[in-house]
Each structure stands twice: as structure tokens, then as C-alpha cells.
Amino acid sequence: MSGQHYHYPAREAFAQRLQAAPVPARLRTIALGMALLGVGIFVAGLFSNPARAWQALHYNWLYFATVSSAGVAFAAVQRIVTARWSRPVVRFAEGYVAFIPVAFVILLLLLFPGREHIFTWAGREAIPTAEKAAYLEPTFFVLRGIFFFGLLTVVQLAFVWQSVRLDVGVLPEYGAKWAAGLRAKMRAAFTGDERRELHTQHSLQGKLAVAVIMSFVVGWCFMAWDYSMSISLHFQQTMYAWIVFMGGWLNMMMSLSLLSMWWRNHLKMQDVVTINHFWDFGKLCFAFTAFFGYISFSQYLVIWYGNMPEETHFYRLRLSGVWKSVTQLIPIFAFVLPFFGLISKAAKVYLPTFVLFSVCSLVGVYLHRYIEIYPSIYGEAATLPFGLQEIGTTIGMLGLWGFCYLSFMDAFPVMRVFMMTTPARDEVQVPVDPRTMEPLPAHE
């Protein structure tokens, strides 16, 4: 990360500045309105074309769920490496956890009433091999999804809870009234001994961070196979799962950069979230754009070179007919524009260009999610199945995600004030005896 000095305001000054810039109620109202609009369009679709309604919900769920879980995974990575540079912005990523419980509820809807409308093998197409039939056995399929996403939900909520409780402990007056009960539960276990609290939380968060990363990677491998690749019963590829969850990771980095810009201006924290943070964000976005392009092209190259019909049909379908134009837009928006756009330092630290290329990436991966799902369901369609149902559901999911995120940020301190203002903030680098809180000898 870029070399920078970390000088933060005193805790009292932090509290005053945060309280002077609460989450705008207007934004939550707009997000709620978008969510209700999307729900209305989805419900109307259940009566007019239920299959299309569930399919639109499914690929939007896949997009927003991967991005949300990647946000908490990013925060976990910062804990594992004990990063200093990200302390002012990591809470902006932890807020992504607010959508995860909602995503779990949506997954249950997809697995039960929606399953037969989404998955071609659920009553509409014969499963070609006994091994796939055993793997996709309905009960096993449902329990597997509940287990992996349920585990991911639990460990991510626990991880963020431990992070937030320290800030709630030192800022008891901060936060919306509707979340006062949650904050009271967090403060109940807060001892007031900042040094002991810091080391205890840091140790526990280290264990939870590893669990978050493992559940994110392993969980999304299985869920990518189940909820995306299995829709095309005659296709399998080893890089597929990585492309799914790394697309979510890439868009998390892009969206986090955009949100950090907004929070920086809204909170008037230009002295805390500096331009160097966006240089660092830009480098990460550029690197993961390159990695996403690399694994996507690697999958395509191996399939093209192998020239086996059970694999080539996947790309042949997507590069012909009504799907061709959408497929061709994906590498342009998800790779070419952000890769060459963010290759220079100037484009990273000049925020308008950063915004432009971040939006390009968000659009590109969104189209990627669409083209993963719909061609496998519709085959050689006569017209592109993208209309009011897909657009309305996307607006609704974006509004629902925004409402969850803004509600979280309204309920809890929007920055890690404790970590940035405690005198012991750099002692987390030093192992201590949990009974005496004295540093351990190096050999121990």
C-alpha cells in the first residue's frame, strides 16, 4: 500500500464530526421506494410469467450476494494482515453484511417455490449421468445450500459484531434510536479496559476472519456450481467457481471505492480518508480486474483449445444469436475499459475517471451474471429475454441492498473510531499474556 502517515483526530472530535453528518433519511426513503417497486414488479410477474420472475430474481440474487459477502471477506483480510492503511474505510466494507441475512431469506425462496422455474434439471430436463443425479438430488441440493450460505451468514455476522461493539462501547450516544437495543447488547460485555478489550477482540476477530475467508471461498465454490453452472447440465469447468466469486470480489472493490468517495465527502473526512486511500483502492481494482480477466480468458482458452463438444457448446451458444452482443460487451466493460483506464496513477487519484471505470466494471460483471444464467435456460432464443421483469427486479434488489446498507450505517458508528483513537491501537502487533496484558517474549 502507498506510504502514508496516520494522524487521526481525537475521539471527541471524531464523535462530533460523525454526529454532525448522520445518514440522510432521504437516501433510505429512496432505497426503500426502489425496493418496494422491485417487489411489486416481481409479484406481478408471478401472476403473468412466474418462470421469468424467479429467473430474474435468481441472477440478481447471485450478483448482490457475491458482492455483499465479498465486502465482509475484504474486512477479514484486513484483520488477518493487521492492515493500518484501511482503518478509516474498513467499516464501509463491513456494512455489506447487512444484506447477508436478507440474501439468506431470498435463497430459501429460490430453493423452495422458485427451484422448478430456475433449474432445468428440476423436472424439465433429464440429468445425463448418475453422478450428477446424485449430486443434484433435491434434498441434498437444498441442505447443501442452506448449510453453506447459513454458515457464511453466521460467521460474517459474528465477525462484524465483534468489530462494531468496540465503537459502540466508546460512543454510547451514537446511532439511530431504532437500534438502541442492539447497541445495548454490545455494550453489556464492554469492560471499559480499552487495552484488554482491544487485544481480546483482536484475537477473537483473527479466528473469525479465517472462518470468514474459508466460508467465502469454499462456500462460493459449491454455490457457484449449484446455482450457476448446474443450470447447464452438460457443462463443467474447473475455473467456473473462481470466476463467479472473483467477479463478486472485483465488484465489491469497485463499489467500495465509490462508497468511500461518497462517505469521505458526506462526513467531511478528507483529512482521514485521503487521496492515498484511492490510490490504494485503484491499485487493488486494477489488480483484480487483471486477475478476473486472466481467469476468464484461461477458461475460454482451454475450452477453445480442447475443442470438446461437452464444453464448447457453452461458449458457442453465448457467442451466437441474441446472446452474442451481450457476451461481447462483457470483456469490454469488465476488463478492457477498467484495465487500461486504471493503468496509470493519474486515473486512480483523479476521482471522476475512477468513478467512470468503476461503473464500467459494475455493469460488465452484472452482464456476466446475466449471461451465466439465461442462455442455459432459454437456449437458442428468438429474442433477448431482457425487459421490464429483469430491469424492475434489478432496481428492487439495488434498493433493498441500499436500504440494508444505509440502515446498518445509520445504526452503528460509520468508522472504526476505537481502533483509530485508542492509544493502544498499534499494540495489536504485539502478542500479550491475556492474564497480565504484558507483552510476551519473542520466543513465545
226-269 tens-digit pLDDT: 999 999 988 988 899 999 999 999 999 999 999 999 999 999 99
For residue 431, give Cα distances in angstroms to 165, 191, 210, 399, 441. Answer: 22, 20, 18, 44, 9
Distance between CA atoms of 334 and 360, rounded to whole angstroms? 6
pLDDT of residue 172: 82
pLDDT of residue 358: 97
For 439, phi then psi, to 5°, come to -60, 140
Cβ-contact 220, 296 below 8 angstroms: no
pLDDT, mean of residues 153-165 = 96
pLDDT in tens, 192-202: 778 888 888 88
Domain ranges of the chain: 21-427
Distance between CA atoms of 249 and 251, rounded to whole angstroms? 6
Partners of 432 in the β-ladder: 439
pLDDT higher than threshold 60 for residue 14: yes
Distance between CA atoms of 292 and 270, rounded to whole angstroms? 31
Cβ-contact 181, 188 below 8 angstroms: no
Closest CA to 55 of 311, 375, 323, 403: 375
* 3-class SS of residue 430: coil
pLDDT of residue 5: 59
Output the average pLDDT for the chain: 92
pLDDT, mean of residues 44-60 = 97
Closest CA to 363 of 255, 218, 233, 257: 255
- Give 432's DSSP letter: B
pLDDT, mean of residues 111-120 = 93
pLDDT, mean of residues 401-414 = 96
Distance between CA atoms of 87 and 280, rounded to whole angstroms? 13
329 CA to centre of own chain: 23
pLDDT in tens, 303-362: 999 898 888 999 999 999 999 999 999 999 999 999 999 999 999 999 999 999 999 999
Exposure pattern of 194-216 as b/e (b: 16+ CB <10 Å)? beebbbbbbeebeebbebbbebb
pLDDT of residue 123: 72
Closest CA to 406 of 281, 293, 266: 266
Give the sign of the dihedral formed by CA 126, CA 132, CA 134, CA 136: negative
Cβ-contact 245, 387 below 8 angstroms: no
* 3-class SS of residue 331: helix
For residue 58, give Cα distances in angstroms to 26, 123, 170, 323, 349. Answer: 29, 18, 41, 18, 36
pLDDT of residue 427: 72
Tell me the helix, strand and coil percentages in the chain, rounded to 5.
75, 0, 25
For residue 241, give Cα distances in angstroms to 108, 152, 228, 331. Answer: 21, 16, 9, 18
pLDDT of residue 202: 83
- Hey, what's the cell of 305? 483449445
Distance between CA atoms of 151 and 145, rounded to whole angstroms? 10
Lowest mean pLDDT, pick from 42-56, 66-80, 115-129:
115-129
Residue ranges of alpha helices (H) inside 190-343 are 194-227, 240-267, 275-306, 309-318, 324-331, 337-341
Distance between CA atoms of 278 and 284, rounded to whole angstroms? 10
pLDDT of residue 158: 96
With 0-12 / 13-18 / 19 or more C-beta atoms within 10 angstroms meaning exposed / middle / buried, residue 108 is middle
- Hey, what's the cell of 316? 458457442
Band (pLDDT 50/70/90 cuts) for residue 444 is very low
pLDDT higher than threshold 60 for residue 442: no
Give the sign of the dihedral formed by CA 242, CA 243, CA 245, CA 249: positive
pLDDT of residue 60: 97
pLDDT of residue 58: 98
pLDDT of residue 275: 94
What predicted TM-score, i.e. pTM, was given to this entire model?
0.94
Q: How far apart are the first and last CA of the chain?
A: 30
